[in-house]
Structure 1
Amino acid sequence: MSTGKPTIVILEEAMREGMQIESADIPASEKVRLLDALSRTGLKKIHVGSFVSPKWTPQMAEVEAVIDGFTPAPGVEYTAIVLNPRGAERRAEYAHKLTMPDPTLGRTKIHLCDVFVRRNINRSQQDEIAAVERTVRAAA
């Protein structure tokens, strides 16, 4: 039963959004150190990174090493973004450390900035929107 009070969920994005905008190469060990520190702050949801092509998002090249290296904190959900079937395969290998999305929930992601969608997945924002429309039609 709802109390009528709004619920606010804070999803920490520094490990994903914060890292991918950095031009300097940040060693996986430093990313692990930051993730472990974030885990001790009381946050309940943390994105650890993205399973994307390092060609387009170089800072995510070592996402597997970061996941292998960090120590999960009790009560914290850790997630990672995937944008294609290969990313989903890579993420599945880390089900023991990552909270996997409920497969019955339809989810999609649309970047609000054309610059970032081009950097992240080498598409235009319009191409990304068109892909969502095709996915929804196919699922109907």
Structure 2
Amino acid sequence: MIFLKLIGSLGLFLYGMKIMSEGLQKVAGDRLRSILTAMTTNRVTGVLTGVLITALIQSSSATTVMVVSFVNAGLLTLAESISVIMGANIGTTVTAWIISIFGFKLIWLLSLFLFWPSPCHLSSQARATVNP
């Protein structure tokens, strides 16, 4: 029974990745092509792009699937995709190291700062009463 759950979960994961990559291919246009070209001009920027994308979506598998779909669509070359995939793997490793060193306390602290009210988030009415 556990094996069937594992196979079903894997199938659902792969199906979701397929749907996401097909959607990205439909959205891809000249602007996306120029953005991808700028982000992967050399190996270093490709690796940094992979690290950044993996940090944003928290999944190196999703990053790899997106990169493979971009190569299939002709938006990236093989050399560019290799550097992005290496960056995705580095990003996953760095995330794991951060969690293992600092634990989940750092994540709670960062999420607290994301939702902390700041003066720039005040409504216009509140700003009018603060700054007469």
**Greater strand proportion:** 1
**Greater helix proportion:** 2
> Greater relative contact order: 1 or 2 (C-alpha under 8 angstroms, separation 6 or more)?
2
TM-score range, shorter chain: 0.3 to 0.5
TM, length-normalised to structure 2: 0.33
The structure number with the bigger radius of gyration is 2
